Amino acid sequence: MTRITAPESIDWNRVRADFPLLQRQVHGKPLVYFDSANTGQKPASVIEAVDDHYRRHNANVSRAVHTLGSEATEAYESTRQRLAKHLNVASEELVLTSGTTFALNLVAYSYALPRLSAGDVVLLTRMEHHANIVPWQLACERTGATIRVAELHPDGSLDMDALHAAMTPEVKILGIAHVSNVLGTINPVAAICREARKRGIVTVVDGSQALPHMAVDIAAIGCDFYAFTGHKMCGPTGTGALWARRELLASMPPFLGGGEMIKEVRYDGTVFADPPHRFEAGTPNVAGHVGLGAAVAYLDALGMDAVSAREATLLAHLTEEMGKIDGLRIIGTAKEKAAVVSFLVEGAHAHDLATLLDLEGVAVRSGHHCAHPLMAFFGVPATCRASLAFYNTHDEIEAFAAALRKVRGLLG
């Protein structure tokens, strides 16, 4: 694994070599993987950590005093501790989950359902992923609360005046993306949470697209809940976590019932475990979270400031090259952006573009990106999305631009 502390000294070609999948070909051409917003690629250290767990330490956690059980538990809990340090929070405030979707549903069902009632409002923004919309719809349907939407500027940035105006006394919960998965827009979540706190509004931040791109200090953000997924930050799929203020976790009933989340079970009643284990019923994805711990270690070794700087350089180059292509429209041009670019080419459907780019070895995402309301805001059914990571290269950007010109020519 690459371990370099000075950003200016990082050999990014050496870093790229840590990712085995990036060496393959697709349709006889070198792979250009521009779909990291969907899932990030995994360095060898993560793959090896998962493999080593299954080969040498495989056992369930917290259910055995034998050596393998102790090793599995220690490895699993060490990921919680590593994540806590990475995010500047206490480990007992981190619930390990299958990802952001589970984490947000946990908040909606365990925190919101017992508290919302008719007349209450859940405030969301136009750029939210479906995972930060649908759970709130379900909670509102069961409680009589309603959803209010804060709109955007045409460049894809959040209309802060409109958001503040929407923070009326009826609003009990604000759900907001730290970074838009479609536009790349980086929202000023610390300032937003500060305003919400003044009004007694509980804040729920979707951090899925933030953690892969930047250093995240949850304590500095000042939110009440922060959800994220592991597979976008070089970890295995089926991993992630929910951070919540300790006092909120302590006040919440379990989301799921079963093994591991109890102190004592009797037919006349059950005593639940303390948070965070209260919310971790059943057998967890032990090997996946061991891999997530390795992913966090990898990112920490690189340094998230170095990752951000690298991706900013790549994004500037990508945006410049795309700007040279006639008929190409970039959707989302906010000043503060992560390395995510949604686009359309005049006269071409997003799916056709993505299909033909794949024949050139280029992997981009096409569709609504689990953001139907955002697509409606821009008046399009779908977009193509090119999303970068620190392991991408300037040569790949040139190859992508060349492939895009070729595809545009094929489509007339």
384 noted as active-site residue: no
The per-residue pLDDT for range 147-196, each reduced to its tens digit, is 999 999 999 999 999 999 999 999 999 999 999 999 999 999 999 999 99
Q: Which helix (H) or strand (E) holds 59?
A: none
| Domain coordinates in residue numbering, the chain | 7-36+303-410, 48-300
pLDDT for res 4: 43
What CA–CA distance (Å, rounded) separates 127 from 168? Answer: 20
Do residues 26 and 361 make contact, with C-beta atoms less than 8 angstroms apart?
A: yes
The per-residue pLDDT for range 296-335, each reduced to its tens digit, is 999 999 999 999 999 999 999 999 999 999 999 999 999 9
pLDDT for res 79: 98
Do residues 306 and 350 make contact, with C-beta atoms less than 8 angstroms apart?
A: no
Extract the tokens encoding 159. 């209309």
Which candidate, 144, 64, 129, places its Cα nearest to that of 99? Answer: 129
Positions of the chain with pLDDT lower than 70, given as ranges: 1-8, 63
Which candidate, 344, 321, 322, 319, places its Cα nearest to that of 331? Answer: 344
pLDDT for res 5: 47
**Residue pointed to by tokens 């795309």:** 322
Rounded (10°) angle between helices 350-359 and 394-410: 120
Strand pairing report for 262-266 and 240-244: unpaired
Q: Please, which contacts does 9-12 make with residues 24 or more away whose CB atoms are closer than 8 Å?
A: 10/302, 10/306, 10/310, 12/310, 12/390, 12/391, 12/393
What CA–CA distance (Å, rounded) separates 273 from 271? Answer: 7
pLDDT for res 287: 98
Domain 48-300 has CATH 1.10.287.610: no
Strand pairing report for 225-229 and 202-206: parallel
Q: Is 223 left (phi over 0), alpha (psi -120 to 50) or beta?
A: beta
Q: Which of 140, 234, 370, 384 is catalytic?
A: 370
Buried-exposed string 343-361: b where 16+ CB fall within 10 A, e elsewhere = bbbeebebebbbebbbebb
**Strand partners of residue 121:** 146, 171
What CA–CA distance (Å, rounded) separates 234 from 239? Answer: 11
Extract the tokens encoding 216. 């995240």
Extract the tokens encoding 259. 């093994």
Burial of 411 from C-beta contacts in 10 A (0-12 / 13-18 / 19+): middle
* Domain 7-36+303-410 top-level CATH class: alpha beta
What CA–CA distance (Å, rounded) separates 266 from 124? Answer: 41
pLDDT for res 58: 95
pLDDT for res 14: 96
